[in-house]
Amino acid sequence: MMTADVQANQPPAPARTLTTGRLPRLIDVWVALGALVAAALVFAGFGHLDYVAGWLALGAVLYLVAIGILASIVEGRRWATDRFVRSLVIVAFLLAIIPLVSTLWTVVEHGITTLTPQFIFNPEKTQFDRTTFKTVLVAGVWPAIVGTLIITGIAALISIPIGLLAAVWLTEYAQPNHPVRKIVTFLVDVMTGIPSIVAGLFAFALFSLLVGPGTFNGLSAAIALCVLMIPTMVRASEEMIKLVPLELREAAYALGVSKWRTIVKVVLRTSVAGLVTGAMLAIARVIGETAPIYIAAGYTRTAFNADPLHGAMSTLAVVSFRNYVDPDPTQPAVTQAEAWGSALLLIIIVVILNLIARLVAARFAPKARR
């Protein structure tokens, strides 16, 4: 009765409806096109049609404003906010992938013509051209491919087991407030942010002390990569192992399975897909490193060296860097092509490794429900 009295004194409530006005379905696309055209007209008015970045930015802003106003008139505030935020997210996403696509495009554009079997499977060499009586440089990156694989391979062989075992200890054995656990976690966090040049200097200094000053070799570069790789591996594996539910460990314990077997056959087996991905990320993190390898393994332009213990060794990243900043004075085009070619090859190698990791992960992933 109280409510009835209160209602009687209130002004009559507006009629409630369950519908609101809606904009047509493809309105976002049309507004976006309109905004881009308007922005183009503005820039054309200033006579600067070539300012693509400015045109896109203005177009994005106009689009956001227009869709917001339009929706708030037709559809009401909640829908307007929804449209505005959704558009903001899409614009932010596009902004984020522009550098990525642009990099990829540039590398492919410059590098694709260089990629021939001759380029991939031979070292760089000079040839005497009998018709022009000139020595020409023939690009080739086989030593750098081998160097990349050897150095990264050694780094992975050292880092993945150490990182994995450290993660197992942190998650399965160490009590939550074990002092060593705290120290290890802290150091791993600090090392994750270590500049790669520091890792290179560390390895170079280490080998200078052990072997002698000015030692360049592949192993030294691999050690430098380990410094970068181990923290990534520890962190990634730790997170993956933590995802394995406690119930699965308990199930194994309740069957009279020892702790070590439970870890190997249940915990690691269940998380193997994530662990492979983590290892892959750690490899991808270091395979493109330039500075530490340049410092620790030096650089060799032509010599093929597959011995990680002696002598300078190149990797694709270093070859790309050197050829780009320090092109051959007589034939700059060849060395430039070599720089782009090795960059593209590096990307291709990472993609291949990624695909392999995906296959492995898919093969071992917990079987899907149904």
Partner 1 sequence: MSKRIQAVDLNVYYGDFLAVKDVTMTMEPRSVTALIGPSGCGKSTFLRTLNRMHEVIPGAHVEGEVIIDGNNLYGPGVDPVLVRRQVGMVFQRPNPFPTMSIRDNVLAGIRLNDRKMSKSDGEALVEKSLKHANLWKEVKDRLDKPGASLSGGQQQRLCIARAIAVAPDVVLMDEPCSALDPISTLAIEDLIEELKQDYTIVIVTHNMQQASRVSDKTAFFNIAGAGEPGKLIEYDDTTTIFSRPSVQATEDYVSGKFG
Nearer to partner 1, 48 or 182 (CB): 182
Residue pair 343/281 in contact by the 8 Å Cβ criterion: no
Mapping DSSP to helix (H, G, I), strand (E, B) and coil, where does residue 138 land? strand
SS3 content of the chain, % helix, strand, coil (to 5): 70, 5, 25
Please, what is the minimum distance in Å from the beta carbon of residue 308 to partner 1?
36
Residue 343 contacts by C-beta under 8 Å, 6 or more apart in sequence? Answer: 107, 111, 316, 317, 320
Nearer to partner 1, 148 or 277 (CB): 277
**CA dihedral over 261, 262, 264, 265, signed as positive or negative:** positive
Please, what is the minimum distance in Å from the beta carbon of residue 197 to partner 1?
41
Nearer to partner 1, 77 or 367 (CB): 367
The residue type at 223: I
Nearer to partner 1, 148 or 270 (CB): 270
Cα–Cα distance, 75 to 79 (Å, whole number): 6
Give residues in contact with partner 1 (CB under 8 A). Answer: 175-176, 245-259, 261-262, 265-266, 269-270, 364, 366-370
Please, what is the minimum distance in Å from the beta carbon of residue 329 to partner 1?
59
Please, what is the minimum distance in Å from the beta carbon of residue 353 to partner 1?
24
Nearer to partner 1, 91 or 240 (CB): 240
Measured in degrees and rounded to the nearest 5, phi and psi for residue 369 equal -70, 125
Please, what is the minimum distance in Å from the beta carbon of residue 249 to partner 1?
7
135 sits in which H/E element: strand 134-141
Please, what is the minimum distance in Å from the beta carbon of residue 179 to partner 1?
15
Residue pair 319/111 in contact by the 8 Å Cβ criterion: no
Nearer to partner 1, 146 or 263 (CB): 263
